[in-house]
Structure 1
Amino acid sequence: MRADAKNLDFALVKDAVQQNDFLRFIQITDTETPLYGPWIDNVRNYAKQQRASLIMHTGDICYEPGMLFHAKQVNSELMGRPTYYTVGNHDLVKGEYGEKLFEDLFGPTYYSFDAGPAHFV
């Protein structure tokens, strides 16, 4: 935790993820682009086709331009299902600034949540 770390308080919202015996989710990583391209529509359409409950981005959104772009274009509302982010090494650009930017855009750099029968940490 950073030396200037603060508590992050936020409301908890129950997701629309069904409490089934199974969970389908889409995992993406290393998208590393600040450009809108067919990949976003492909992920959205594939998640819908597969009836995925959520999308998990596991890091390397890539530096400030990529993080700003993803926050605007690859989010729960536009992807049509809960979309979660974890921080990657290329997201911690410029030391503490990268961690602060990530938190400002996506929330805490570490967290946990329940989805269906699974608990993600």
Structure 2
Amino acid sequence: MKAEGFIDNRQFEEALQTRLEIQPNKKPYPYKAHYFLEYIRQTIERKYGRHSLYRGGLRIYTTVDLTMQMAAKNAIQKGLEELEMREGFRGPTGRVLFGEGGSYQQMIERVNKNPLEIGAITEGIVTKVD
């Protein structure tokens, strides 16, 4: 702030002596519709430039309705779950031939490097059928 001319030397020295108190954010990241926000960010940066986007103090109003977005997302999720229950198992998404791509243990190690995410769909490996 000193380099940008917002504070003088006395204020700068005083700020250096001030103990910082960090307040953790108790709420989860408040934004939804990340794809929409990223589109807006790219549009603003393209139109007004990076400096204006991050340093210009812009107030940006959008047309997104988070209530409607969440309702749409939940409806799609519910519909896909119902479809899955109606259709049942439709076969494997692929096959693993260990002679060509390494061993079973190497595949497990590769899979374990990517942690599972809550709510995400992940592939599994069938190793035995009784």
**TM-score bucket (shorter structure):** under 0.3
- Structure in which a larger fraction of residues adopt strand: 1
Q: Radius of gyration: which is bigger?
A: 2
TM (normalized to structure 2)?
0.18
Q: Which has the higher contact order (CA 8 A, sep 6+)?
A: 1
